[in-house]
Structure 1
């Protein structure tokens, strides 16, 4: 039995890792404020504000086979390193493909240039700073995983899940989509990412890996999502200039079309995954992910408020302006 400390563990990814470790019979401790949700059943939960004095006192006396860091804020990352680096046999930092300086080189790998971390309030800059601090403290005990878009049941960002749920909600009615020609999407199912992180930790895998899925055509994803959702209506596409002129946002957030990227950032969804595959990375079938996401979305409510996407009312108004 291995002993794992997850710095977090009540939000989506941390919780998924903790739950799977418990299923596999491992000894799991989660240290977090607990504001993102209840601790998973079967873990030892340590409620702690990581910015408070003595935040790690209850876990510094232990030796850990694995520590998993999910935070991006540099003060949280460095505070954990100061308290725990000497107690960890292996350390995993979950970073992001957002750390790369350019999104214009298709197939770029883990050696591509990173942004310079000059603004630590910026997510990408903070992740680079976290990588550098962790590398300096851990040396050859460190695994850095750089996922891109994470998808799957329970997603709270609503980016991937928007499309299959919107198509199901619309049923026979039209749905607004961006122009999909020459547009790619790249995601990893949270269950595939969780399985790989756990296996990599057990093996003591070190180095930097783009933990990403296959590059897929956005058109293919929308086609498969429509099939899974049973959508029989028309997909009405709009050009980028029209969408931006009508205050529709890229990628994520309110009043957006999720997964739609500016053409200047085309390679964000075309990162190399060869190193990840060589290290045992796997990928489940796209239609399986879509079906599982739709089942989860039906439980949560297809017409619920979302962090990303258009409301159905906003979409209908935009569709009316196109046809008008």
Structure 2
């Protein structure tokens, strides 16, 4: 069926409103990782824009990548980087690093052989989350004996305590090794969308699609920040194309959003016809309901977490970060979840079980 006049006009208007993304110069890009959540999107986007892409990883979890991609195998945990020796790339995108010695060892074979090093960090590098802040805010201090001696095992044993400090030290090592003028630091917040197997956002499209009475956290006014993995991945590739350096909070959306607005954006995209019942923060605390894990995405806008979902993203927006509509992310996430095995769909890794949610709703009504 040919498009209607209204469809044509709407499409044309959207095209005019969309930011202009210039045709890129062709690059030879090395991606350390290339699997995980954002790696495959980076690879596919880069290839679609005419770049030559090489991925380096352990080869244990290969994504479905274009045939043109070159695959190199090694292990940064053991220092096996032989496949990278005596090779030249214009850009290196380092996705998985959490340990400073990974950056140091990569520099031993890549220093002088790449013109730009893009390090994907995290907003967990910040020392505090009690107020809104930009990229100049203080970073979490490392209080261990030797950061270069930290391993994946010690990181895991710390229960997450070392994650932010070691990421911060990895950033510093990147700048020291590759130089400020050639280093780009991207600090994402909550990464969501198809392929995110943590279910930290997926819970909400799945839950709203199921319908009925939904327990929602707080009063709906708490701020929310998140970014679609595709938007993050594509923007990082454009940073490489434009040789953009510096430090950026890589989070969305472009305009401030509350928890209520997030759920209102997800609902129509997944066919929600139920009812939201908001539970006060103190009620949830008393019931042992944890922010972020039991109530995904949500962090109370108070006390030590008052600035968690209010990181300043003006630098990123000025550097070309774009965010697709939340409705698109929600619909695509739900569609992806529905491709997973039934047992996986039945046991999400974040959020409340139906039984626990029902019990909390009953208790809330009886209060």
Could you state the TM-score of these two structures normalised by the residue count of structure 2? 0.81
Q: Does 1:319 align with 2:361?
A: yes
1: CA distance, partners of 2:112 / 2:142: 26
- Quote the residue 1:29 is aligned against: 54
2: CA distance, partners of 1:309 / 1:75: 35
After TM superposition, give the deviation of residue 110 of structure 1 in Å: 0.8
Q: Does 1:47 align with 2:73?
A: yes
Q: Does 1:131 align with 2:171?
A: yes
After TM superposition, give the deviation of residue 35 of structure 1 in Å: 3.2
Of residues 280, 290, 299, the one that matches 1:239 is 280
Q: Does 1:95 align with 2:95?
A: no
User: 1:1-324 alignment to 2 at 5 Å?
Assistant: 1-38=26-63, 40-42=65-67, 43-53=69-79, 55-70=80-95, 71-106=97-132, 108-119=133-144, 121=155, 122-139=162-179, 140-169=181-210, 171=211, 173-214=212-253, 215-252=256-293, 256-262=294-300, 263-264=302-303, 265-300=305-340, 303-324=345-366
Question: What is the SS of the residue equivalent to 1:223?
Answer: helix
Q: Kindly indicate whether the alpha-carbon contact (under 8 Å) linking 1:60 and 1:87 is maintained by their aligned counterparts in 2.
A: no
After TM superposition, give the deviation of residue 129 of structure 1 in Å: 0.7
Deviations 1:266-312 (A, max 9, x none): 21111111111111111222222222222222333694322211122
1: CA distance, partners of 2:291 / 2:55: 34
Q: 1:27 to 1:98 in 2, by over 3 A?
A: same
2: CA distance, partners of 1:22 / 1:294: 26
After TM superposition, give the deviation of residue 319 of structure 1 in Å: 2.3
- RMSD between aligned residues: 1.9
Query: Any runs of at least 4 consecutive aligned residues in structure 1 with deviations exceeding 6 A, and if so which?
Result: none
Q: Kindly indicate whether the alpha-carbon contact (under 8 Å) linking 2:86 and 2:109 is maintained by their aligned counterparts in 1.
A: no
After TM superposition, give the deviation of residue 37 of structure 1 in Å: 4.0
Question: What is the SS of the residue equivalent to 2:195?
Answer: coil
After TM superposition, give the deviation of residue 29 of structure 1 in Å: 1.2
**Any unmatched runs of 5+ in structure 1?**
none
After TM superposition, give the deviation of residue 22 of structure 1 in Å: 2.1
Question: What is the SS of the residue equivalent to 2:324?
Answer: coil
**Any unmatched runs of 5+ in structure 2?**
1-25, 148-154, 156-161
User: Aligned residues, how many?
Assistant: 317
After TM superposition, give the deviation of residue 244 of structure 1 in Å: 2.5
Question: What is the SS of the residue equivalent to 2:170?
Answer: helix
After TM superposition, give the deviation of residue 216 of structure 1 in Å: 0.5
Deviations 1:1-38 (A, max 9, x none): 32111111121111211122222232111111133444
Could you state the TM-score of these two structures normalised by the residue count of structure 1? 0.91
Q: Kindly indicate whether the alpha-carbon contact (under 8 Å) linking 1:183 and 1:266 is maintained by their aligned counterparts in 2.
A: no
Q: Kindly indicate whether the alpha-carbon contact (under 8 Å) linking 2:31 and 2:53 is maintained by their aligned counterparts in 1.
A: yes
